[in-house]
Chains A and B, each alone.
Chain A
Amino acid sequence: MFLGKPNSHIILALDTESKAEAIKVLDQTHDLIDVIKFNYPLILKEGLSLISEIKQRYGLKILADFKVADVPVTNNRIVELVKKAGADAIMVHGFIGTDALLEIMNIANNEIGVIIVTELTHPGGLEFTRPYSIDFANICSLIDAYGIQAPGTRPDQINQLRNTIGEKKTIVSCGVGAQGGDFREVLNAGADFAIIGRAIYNAPNPREVVLNLRESVNV
């Protein structure tokens, strides 16, 4: 459902400078990864249509990492646009509250998966998101969202979040690779997918990096 069953467990964070660079990386790696993740910089530069274009070209699942965090009216419009663009899942912040999240669930209408951000991976994430990350995970269960984001830089926390939401919900873990998170540790801690960007797209040979990552977890 939404992002599908993990095979390689790799979500490629496609944060390249341009569409041309993105395609160069995907041409080398698309058959080895499960999902492509887009964030704002590339989409703001190249346009939302890049989602459908890349999806058509490579036939992979798309995660829109737009960390939606506004008032309901605006959130709802963003989710509607991203759904129409063909994304399979979208990330939204948990701190917007249950009323706003429930509205997003209604707009998503089971056609796009809603993933709730629990905790940002950088040190500042410990200041404001950490104290509420378990609450955000509980909210995921309450509103029956597709899953949560968990910090790949903190495997203990992934484990705690997995225990909170149970086995049925999906966990995507960012911060693996360049930010310090370890692919194997993240999966062992309970994540379904690891989000890896710079370690792949900045490498001289992205394909080799992905192959090595897969080998490290025997897939």
Chain B
Amino acid sequence: MIIESLQVEKYCAESNNFTLKINFKRILSIKQLTKIKEVEKSIELSSKCVLVRDTKLDTIIHFYREKNYCLVTNAGTINQGILSLENILGRIEDE
């Protein structure tokens, strides 16, 4: 498991959603980021950040180059945010 710790970056009471900052034990490799980019509903922004949308849980996960964390936005609950991330990481865990 690559996840080390989690903190709630923001909670919006009106729209009732969380932004989570999830720290990794290590920086994601280029190969892992490339795999993430191949996930359906993902885009790369200005070569700095890869965004992946989880359409089931309606979240967006922000992966950054050379950073040991990601942001999960628009999560209805903390658990949903973690689940969204785990779904994506599950696809690259052979690294």
Our pick among A103, A131, A135 for the contact of B15 (Cβ within 8 Å) is A103
How far, in whole Å, are A160 and B62 apart by their CA atoms in the complex?
25
**Interface check B91, CB cutoff 8 A:** no
Whether A143 contacts B53 by the Cβ 8 Å rule is yes
Residues of A in contact, count (CB < 8 Å): 16
Whether A142 contacts B53 by the Cβ 8 Å rule is yes
Closest to B52 in A: A142
Q: Which of B9-61 touch A at CB < 8 Å?
A: 12, 14-15, 17, 19, 41-46, 51, 53, 58, 60
Contacts of A138 in B (CB 8 A): 43-45
Residues of B in contact, count (CB < 8 Å): 18
How far, in whole Å, are A117 and B60 apart by their CA atoms in the complex?
20
Contacts of A142 in B (CB 8 A): 41-43, 51, 53, 60
Whether A98 contacts B58 by the Cβ 8 Å rule is no
Do A76 and B14 form a contact, CB below 8 Å, given A138-B45, A141-B43, A143-B53? yes
Our pick among B12, B45, B62 for the contact of A72 (Cβ within 8 Å) is B12
Closest to B60 in A: A98
Whether B14 contacts A135 by the Cβ 8 Å rule is no
**Interface check A99, CB cutoff 8 A:** yes
**Interface check A13, CB cutoff 8 A:** no
**Interface check B84, CB cutoff 8 A:** no
Closest to B44 in A: A138
**Interface check A102, CB cutoff 8 A:** yes
Whether A99 contacts B53 by the Cβ 8 Å rule is no
A166 CB to closest chain B CB (Å) equals 13
Q: Which of A131-150 touch B at CB < 8 Å?
A: 131-132, 135, 138-139, 141-143
Whether B15 contacts A72 by the Cβ 8 Å rule is yes
Contacts of A141 in B (CB 8 A): 43
How far, in whole Å, are A106 and B53 apart by their CA atoms in the complex?
14
How far, in whole Å, are A73 and B16 apart by their CA atoms in the complex?
11
Additional A-B contact list (16), CB under 8 Å, known A98-B51, A99-B60, A102-B74: A72-B12, A72-B15, A73-B12, A73-B14, A73-B15, A76-B14, A76-B15, A99-B73, A102-B58, A106-B15, A131-B46, A141-B43, A142-B42, A142-B53, A142-B60, A143-B53
